[in-house]
Amino acid sequence: MSDTDTADPAIAPIKRPTRWHIAVFLAPAVLVYTAIMILPLIETLRLSLYNLVDGQTAFVGLSNFVTLFSDPRLSASFWNALGNNLIFFVIHMLVQNPVGIALAAMLSIPKLRFATFYRTAIFVPTLLSFVIVGFIWKLILSPIWGIAPGMLDMVGLKWLFAPWLGRPDSALIAVSLISVWQYVGIPMMLIYAALLNIPEEVLEAAECDGITGWSQFWKIKLPLILPSIGIISILTFVGNFNAFDLIYTVQGALAGPDGSTDILGTLLYRTFFGFQNQMGDRSMGATIATVMFLIILAGVSLYLFVIQRRMRRYQF
Amino acid sequence: MTRMLKGLMLATTVLVPAALAGTVQAADTALTIESWRNDDLSIWQEKLIPAFEAKNPGIKVTFAPMAPTEYNSAVNAKLEAGTAGDLITCRPFDLSLAMFEKGQLAPLNDLDGIGNFSDTAKSAWTTDDGKTTFCVPMASVIHGFIYNKKAFEELKVEVPKTEDEFFALLEKIKTDGNYIPMAMGTKDQWEAATMGYYNIGPNDWKGEEGRKALIAGTQKLTDADWVEPYKTLAKWKPYLGDGFEAQTYPDSQNLFTLGRAAIYPAGSWEIAPFKAQADFEMGAFPPPVKKAGDTCYISDHNDIGIGLNAKGKNPEAAKKFLAWVASPEFATLYANSLPGFFSLNSTAVKMEDPLAQEFVSWRQNCKPTIRPSAAIVGRGKPNLDLEMWRVSANVINGTQTPEQAAEETQKGLDSWYKPAK
């Protein structure tokens, strides 16, 4: 494809010009992505192998990781954060996704009135900034100014109210449910799209065989939307283990009370950037970031190589 | 034609602003103050900076505050990257000392006016050997309790002197039911330590005596004197109002200034904002002592100073500014624009605010001390101050006993601190 061939037109093959436009069109995305994603990622991984030794940055091998897992305080905060993160993820899997699927199933009922309204209303929180969501919920649940105590009082359930966000045993659940409220629109939309994709003929055939209503959902629709559910699960996993913003807005960087809402993201923030009188430690922060990256990588690989390959797909 | 047009556009968009910027810079030296005092932005912009600029034409000063909890790490990153302003607001003790040791702050021993400060005032920004001072002291803050005078009159109660009277008072306010006895929450954690433990504790650990013994290693945080304040804090729980576990710092401030709470465990920095918000008379009392006649101790903490960025671009102008900060003129201006930030200048400053005068009057009878976690024992990891925030909040919430709290902080301290023998 080089220009020298064109010197002898007699034997030259049909000239195919170099397709520069491919490179040109790809370049902006590749450049931007490399500059703001790939390079920082590599730099973070590299930084986790370095530390300050006598005021100088020096290569220390894996000793940061050894410190992270052997230092009694650091490892305690790390395992606490990982444990909380798992609970955070489990609550999303058990509440957000089933509720999302249920909502999608209800929305796809052909006779439902105001379906578009419901769909939009449920999806809107997803579009809101986490700062707004965090702030609104903090106010709703505030024991002093909030409307939650008043509303519970109106139905005679005032005794049920507690300062949920301030109690170590309920704060994490409360924050998880706020996050579920915000993001339930995403599984709903994806499943809704998948349900609309199921051809009428399949459903008609099912009806001819006498499968209707709930059993139609369980036996026909659910197997057909399983790949979408898989995608949603992995998105939830990645999102939850990268989460930080909502906890930071609702509970602050200390992720209190007593570290009960501390997840990997907030731990990383406090370690890397420091907090109040605690100075930031970039190497240890990068080490935690690397561990987070590995956890997410492991989860995604497990899904891609083990689960997705065994999933049955149906072609229509 | 198009080419000419393009040339014109280039000239107007790129060259003209650059030229303008050039002329502005040639005329004025710009100084930036890095600070964590968000709340004081308008006072700096409207009172302090104009007063300086009027006397020093050709110097433009910008006050650039950021969120208090992010200040230290952000300013450190800026200093390392060389983008920090010429003037750096200094946290007291170990944090600024670390900056000085890294060569980020310049020594100020020969600054005009640094002699206006006593050694005690400078102690928060002087090296351990006492030789070099690296920030100009600006102000100290005093802890105590601010109360709603109207509420106290309605309930016909007096200011408590002893701890028993204090709890009797709280019980009375609670039984009456009109007011929340005390406005404090534990959600943000820091009030529990700063307005709780550091506020009432000095009476138990006997101020400087206990603090120095802790540094020397002759006392431990698990000793009775250091556990006692946690025990008192645990007794605050029933008087803090519903849902205090989820009550944030602004919530508490609002509860008090709206007149819904009778007492507010405070730092003197609250005076100015409270004056602006509350429409009732306020009074203040120092932390009650155990028995009538006991010596009282107050936390009179050197809180804020200002230093010179060693790698700043305009050291001469910045030094002029610092010399002005060290002058009695600034002391009077600052202490009166921000009542509650008490000048550290040796020249006596006349304060007009009665509430601020009340706070300062305690210095005559009570022995002052600083926060125990600030100097020397606040240098390591885990940070003692942050640990005390957490356990104080836990003790008030009832999720940890006073003994557990003390043990946990001592364990954290033991993990890195070896007292000099």
Q: Which of A257, A276, A278 sits opposite B397 (nearest CB)?
A: A257
List pLDDT tens digits, range B375-398.
888 888 888 999 999 999 999 999
Q: Which of B76, B189, B400 sits opposite A256 (nearest CB)?
A: B189
User: Is A273 within 8 Å of B70 when comparing Cβ atoms?
Assistant: yes
Residue B118 confidence (pLDDT):
85
Residue A315 confidence (pLDDT):
67
| Å between B248 CA and nearest CA of chain A | 9
Q: Which of B76, B241, B246 sits opposite A165 (nearest CB)?
A: B246
Strand partners, A178: none
**Please, which pLDDT band fits residue B23 given cuts at 50, 70 and 90?**
very low
Residue B113 gets which letter from DSSP? T
- Do A200 and A127 lie in one domain? The reply is yes
Structural domain boundaries enclosing B30: 11-139+302-352
CB contacts of B245 in chain A (<8 Å) are: 163, 165-167, 257
| Å between A141 CA and nearest CA of chain B | 9
**Please, which pLDDT band fits residue B130 given cuts at 50, 70 and 90?**
confident
Query: Is residue A149 in some structural domain?
Result: yes
**Please, which pLDDT band fits residue A9 given cuts at 50, 70 and 90?**
low
> From CA A85, how far away is CA B65, in angstroms rounded?
34
**Helix (H/G/I), strand (E/B), else coil: A277:** coil
A223 touches chain B (CB under 8 A): no
User: Is B394 within 8 Å of A258 when comparing Cβ atoms?
Assistant: yes
CB contacts of A166 in chain B (<8 Å) are: 185-187, 243-247, 397
Q: Which of A257, A278, A279 sits opposite B393 (nearest CB)?
A: A257
User: Is B382 within 8 Å of A164 when comparing Cβ atoms?
Assistant: no
User: Is B69 within 8 Å of A278 when comparing Cβ atoms?
Assistant: no
Q: Which one of B66, B71, B72 makes the best mutation probe of the A interface by having the most chain A beta carbons within 10 Å?
A: B72
Residue A157 confidence (pLDDT):
85
- Do B72 and B148 lie in one domain? The reply is no
Q: What are phi and psi of A216, to 5 degrees?
A: -65, -40
Average pLDDT along chain A: 89
Number of A–B residue contacts, CB under 8 Å: 112
- Do A41 and A173 lie in one domain? The reply is no
**Helix (H/G/I), strand (E/B), else coil: A149:** helix
- Do B42 and B104 lie in one domain? The reply is yes
Query: Is residue B212 in some structural domain?
Result: yes
User: Is A142 within 8 Å of B255 when comparing Cβ atoms?
Assistant: no
Query: Is residue A212 in some structural domain?
Result: yes
Q: Omega before A257 cis (within 30°)?
A: yes
Q: Which residues of B sit within 8 Å Cβ distance of A?
A: 68-70, 72-73, 76-77, 91, 94-95, 98, 185-190, 241-247, 251, 255, 378, 381-383, 385-386, 389-390, 393-394, 397, 399-400, 412, 415
| Å between A89 CA and nearest CA of chain B | 24
Query: Is residue A66 in some structural domain?
Result: no
Residue A294 confidence (pLDDT):
95
Query: Is residue A105 in some structural domain?
Result: yes
- Do A215 and A241 lie in one domain? The reply is yes
Q: Produce one character per residue of B269-301: b if its CB has 16 or more CB atoms within 10 Å, e if not.
A: bbbbebeeebeeebebbbbbbeeeeeebbbbbb
A140 touches chain B (CB under 8 A): no
A163 touches chain B (CB under 8 A): yes
Query: Is residue A13 in some structural domain?
Result: no
A143 touches chain B (CB under 8 A): yes
- Do A42 and A177 lie in one domain? The reply is no
List pLDDT tens digits, range B300-323.
999 999 999 999 888 889 999 999
Q: What are phi and psi of A203, to 5 degrees?
A: -65, -40
- Do B327 and B371 lie in one domain? The reply is no
Tell which of A61, A79, A111 closes a domain: A61
Angle between helices B328-337 and B315-325 (to 10 degrees): 70
**Please, which pLDDT band fits residue A8 given cuts at 50, 70 and 90?**
low
> From CA A292, how far away is CA A279, in angstroms rounded?
21
Residue B9 confidence (pLDDT):
53
Please determine, for the modelled complex, whether the ipTM score is greater than 0.90.
no
Count: domains in chain B: 2
Residue B13 confidence (pLDDT):
52
CATH number for the domain spanning B24: value is 3.40.190.10
Q: Which one of A258, A267, A283 makes the best mutation probe of the B interface by having the most chain B beta carbons within 10 Å?
A: A258
User: Is B247 within 8 Å of A141 when comparing Cβ atoms?
Assistant: no
Q: Which of B95, B241, B242 sits opposite A277 (nearest CB)?
A: B95
Structural domain boundaries enclosing A127: 71-310
Strand partners, B263: B147, B182
A257 touches chain B (CB under 8 A): yes
Count: domains in chain A: 2
- Do A57 and A75 lie in one domain? The reply is no
Residue B254 confidence (pLDDT):
92
Half-sphere exposure of A54 (CA within 13 A, CB side): 0
**Helix (H/G/I), strand (E/B), else coil: B222:** coil
Q: Which of A143, A164, A259 sits opposite B242 (nearest CB)?
A: A143
Query: Is residue B1 in some structural domain?
Result: no
Query: Is residue A216 in some structural domain?
Result: yes
Query: Is residue B342 in some structural domain?
Result: yes
Residue B17 has pLDDT above 60, yes or no: no
- Do A229 and A174 lie in one domain? The reply is yes
Query: Is residue A139 in some structural domain?
Result: yes
- Do A38 and A119 lie in one domain? The reply is no
User: Is A166 within 8 Å of B246 when comparing Cβ atoms?
Assistant: yes
